[in-house]
Amino acid sequence: MTEHRILIVSHGHPDHSKGGAEVAAYNLFKEYERQGLDTVFLARTDQPSHGGSAFSTINSNKEILFHTHMSDFFLFQSGCKKHVWQEFRALLKRYKPTVVHFHHYIHMGLELIREVRNTLPDARLVVTLHEYLAICANNGQMVKPGKQMKLCYKSSPTDCAHCFPDRSAADFFLREKYIKSIFNLVDMFVSPSHFLIERYKVWGIPEEKMVMIENGQPEIETPASRPLAEGEGRGRFAFFGQINPFKGVDVLLEAFKLLPEDLQEKVHLDIHGANLQGQTEEFQEKILRLLEDLGDLVTLHGSYESHEIGRLMEQADWVIIPSVWWENSPMVIQEAFNHGRPLIGSDIGGMVEKISDNISGYHFRNGSSNSLKQAILKACGEGSSWNLIASNIPKPLTISECADKHMGIYHG
Distance CA 132, CA 142 (A): 7
pLDDT in tens, 266-316: 999 999 988 888 899 999 999 999 999 999 999 999 888 878 888 999 999
Cβ–Cβ < 8 Å for 128, 189: yes
Question: 3-class DSSP state for residue 189?
Answer: strand
In the chain, the domains with their CATH numbers are 5-216+398-411 (3.40.50.2000), 236-391 (3.40.50.2000)
* Span 58-103, pLDDT tens digits: 888 999 999 999 999 999 999 999 999 999 999 999 999 999 999 9
What's residue 369's pLDDT? 97
Cβ-contact 30, 15 below 8 angstroms = no
pLDDT score at 1? 46
39 within 8 A of 33, measured Cβ to Cβ: yes
CB 124 within 8 A of CB 189: no
| 335-361 pLDDT, tens digit each | 999 999 999 999 999 999 999 999 999
With vertex at residue 313, the alpha carbon angle to CA 307 and CA 317, rounded to the nearest 5 degrees, is: 180
Cα angle for residues 8, 113, 13 (degrees, 5° grid)? 35
DSSP three-state, residue 216 = coil
The pLDDT mean for the chain works out to: 93
Residue 352 has φ and ψ, to the nearest 5°, of -70, -25
Q: Over the stretch 23-65, which tens digit does the pLDDT of each residue have? A: 899 999 999 999 999 999 999 999 888 777 899 998 889 999 9
- CA atoms of 108 and 42, how far apart (whole Å): 11
Q: Which H or E run includes 345?
A: strand 343-346
pLDDT at 259 over 50: yes
Residue type, 215: N
Global confidence as pTM: 0.91
pLDDT at 401: 97
pLDDT in tens, 214-257: 999 989 888 899 999 988 889 999 999 889 889 999 999 999 99
